[in-house]
Amino acid sequence: MIIEKLTDSALQILAPAKINLFLQVLNRREDGFHNINSLFQAVSLFDRLKFETRPEPGIDLKILNNRELSTGNDNLVVKAFQLMVERFSIKSGLNIELEKNIPVSAGLAGGSTDGAATIYACNKLFELRLDSGRMADLGAEIGSDIPFFFGSGQSLVRGRGEIVENWPVPADYHLVLVNPGIAISTAEAYARLKRGLTFSKEPFNLARCATVIELVKELERCGNDFEEVSVGFHPELGIILDGLLNNGALLARMSGSGPTLFGLFDKAPDLEQLRSRFSGDWHFCAVRPITYTHDGST
């Protein structure tokens, strides 16, 4: 997260998307979640959130750029605020403006990053003095991907998402995100994998890497478990992956349970030229991997 103090009672936070550089789904847990093994990487596609305290309790959430996104109790911003109110007896409220730039239900953790930003804003604006570990623990109660956003932006993520280990890897490369605009239900994606309680799979151990080439070679040893089953149901995903590789990407992969795909390039491609080589009406976005600290610096 990138944090800017606006006034003593207001903050602006740039909340980043993430991609999964690799993703294994190991088995279904007794609590209904799945154990995963993944390398999360924050990228320079941001939702912009402005938070301002107000004397009245509750929140007034305004969403820009997305008329379909709920402002009700299923929104992770609302869930995060309600959790903080319950745990810390917060009496006043927040006015929140959310400029939604990260696609919804796209495998980029757009809702989770907004929930994490809300926990952070409550901590700062209401002077709760929580450290990153405590905020991550709170986030895990409402969303499996939320704890990641209290790390460095590069983490090995295990368990159901609550075990986060900062894992520095080279970041001097470029990414192109491609969203084909199809809907892939996360629940359906997990169901298609058919991971039961007794399913056994050896977790991939990512070696330390000093260069992008070393990183790519390591990542080629482990993909995204959702990718094969999703491509079977949505052939356009395979077309995009092949197209990225045929146009200079060192690695092409799906993020999360999809549908967003990414290509990893050693040099920045010409985005318009790249887009012209694909026949589908898909959304392309150029981003960079980022790291950050919780004082707002990158």
Amino acid, res. 230: S
Name the active-site residue from 5, 18, 47, 225: 18
> From CA 175, how far away is CA 249, in angstroms rounded?
9
- pTM for this prediction: 0.93
Both tokens of 234, joined, read 């949505």
For residues 287 and 37, the answer to whether their CB atoms sit within 8 Å is: no
Q: What percent of the chain has pLDDT over 90?
A: 75
Q: Tens digits of per-residue pLDDT, 37-89? A: 999 999 999 999 999 999 999 999 999 987 788 888 989 999 999 999 999 99
Does 6 have pLDDT greater than 60?
yes
Q: What is the pLDDT of residue 197?
A: 65
**Model confidence band, residue 295 (pLDDT cutoffs 50, 70, 90):** low
pLDDT band at 27 (very low <50, low <70, confident <90, very high): confident
pLDDT in tens, 116-145: 999 999 999 999 999 999 999 999 999 989
Q: Rounded to whole angstroms, how far apart are CA atoms 199 and 174? A: 36
Task: Kindly name the residue from 47, 114, 145, 225 that is annotated as catalytic.
Answer: 145
In sequence order, what DSSP letters do the residues of 66-101 get, joined into one string?
-SSS--STTSHHHHHHHHHHHHHT--SEEEEEEE--
How confident is the model at residue 192, as a pLDDT? 81
pLDDT band, very low/low/confident/very high, at 208 (cuts 50, 70, 90): very high
- What domains are defined for the chain? 2-166 (3.30.230.10), 174-287 (3.30.70.890)
Distance of CA 21 to the CA centre of its chain: 11
Query: In this predicted model, what pLDDT tens digit does every residue of 217-269 receive, in sequence order?
Result: 999 999 999 998 888 889 999 999 999 999 999 999 999 988 999 999 999 99
Per residue in 210-223, is it b (16+ CB within 10 Å) or e — as a string?
Answer: eebeebbebbeebb
What is each CA distance from 263 to 20, 99, 247, 252, in whole angstroms? 12, 26, 9, 4
Read off the tokens for 185.
């239900």
pLDDT at 21: 97
Return the pLDDT at 212: 97
Q: Mind listing the pLDDT tens digit for each residue in 101-116?
A: 999 889 999 999 999 9
Best CA proximity match to 172, nearest among 267, 282, 286, 76? 267
DSSP lists the bridge partners of residue 83 as none
pLDDT of residue 123: 97
State the average pLDDT for the chain: 92
Q: Is 145 annotated in the active site?
A: yes
**Catalytic: 18?**
yes
Indicate the burial class of 262 (C-beta count within 10 angstroms; 0-12, 13-18, 19 or more). buried
CA distance 38 to 25: 9
Nearest to 146 by CA among 189, 103, 105, 117: 117
Break the chain down into helix, strand, coil percent, rounded to 5: 30, 30, 40
